[in-house]
Amino acid sequence: MRFLADLISRAFDFFFTLTGSAGWTFIIITLLARFLLSPLTRWSSRSMLKMRELAPQAEALRRRSKEDPTRLRRELADLSKRSGISPWTPMVAGLLQFLLFIALSRALWSPGHFRGQTFLGIPLDQAPCPGTLLPDLDCVLQLIQNPFLTLLPVLVTVTAHAAARSVPIDSRHNWWTALLAIVWGLLGLSLPAWISVFWIVWEGVQTIEYGAARQAQTRSLGLHEH
């Protein structure tokens, strides 16, 4: 983890020398990280899409073998094997993304790391409303004075919701994805601005990647039908 954090820190210094902007440097690093993980993201997306397609068959197996857990596990494993999917793929992708975020935090979450720079008028190492989860009067007044401060938590909420909706899950869970997006937006009020920038870029790219994977699979199914 320390090696990865040192690598991120060196990459930050390199791109900062080129751009002169900590904000744009951070966006470049985030995009590079997503690019490196994109093969795993596409693999994970295809696995989740196939798992969603197989959900009716899996449910039929559960109803048929609900009294025999051993047989059910074997039949579900056989179904996954025949379809060429692994339920572990999304977990591996999520774990790697989590480890990357931890390394990013260790590399950049230090006083003065952003050299007091701002991005869109927002200090990257400061929170829009530090020390609060729910906006109080002081927070509201501060957001009114600087509209860009309001923009960050709003974009965090929008991108979090869009990314969650792009993941192939049961539509019955849509209310949960909306609630989780609102929670992330509220957290964006109390976290340093660079974390919000990271989240917006990261989730925005994920939405595009999952959307592209879904369209590719739809086209593939259309070709097979013809």
pLDDT per residue as tens digits for the range 16-49: 899 888 888 888 988 988 888 877 777 777 777 7
Read off the pLDDT of residues 124-180 as tens digits, 9 standing for 90 and up.
887 778 777 677 777 777 777 777 777 888 888 888 888 777 765 555 556 677 777
Number of domains in the chain: 1
CA distances from 108 to 80, 124, 157, 161 (A): 41, 11, 23, 26
Q: Does the pTM of the predicted model rise above 0.75? A: no
CB contact burial 89-112 (16+ within 10 A = b; e otherwise): bbeebeeebeebeebbbbbbeeee
- With tokens 């959900």, the residue in question is 55
Read off the pLDDT of residues 38-95 as tens digits, 9 standing for 90 and up.
777 777 777 777 777 777 777 787 787 777 778 777 877 787 777 767 667 667 777 8
Domain that holds residue 138: 2-225
Nearest to 153 by CA among 118, 198, 188, 181: 188
pLDDT at 74: 82
Nearest to 79 by CA among 99, 97, 62: 62
CA distances from 80 to 43, 52, 72, 108, 169 (A): 15, 12, 12, 41, 17
d(CA 84, CA 78) in angstroms, rounded, equals 10
> 1 is written with which tokens?
């983890």
d(CA 52, CA 204) in angstroms, rounded, equals 22
pLDDT at 173: 58
Whether residue 1 is predicted with pLDDT greater than 80 in this model: the reply is: no
pLDDT band at 226 (very low <50, low <70, confident <90, very high): very low
Q: Which amino acid type is present at position 11?
A: A
Whether residue 225 is predicted with pLDDT greater than 50 in this model: the reply is: no
- Residue 123 is given by DSSP the state E
Tell me the backbone φ, ψ of residue 122, rounded to 5 degrees: -110, 125
Provide the 10 A C-beta neighbour count for residue 153.
24
Tell me what the mean pLDDT of segment 93-98 comes to: 78
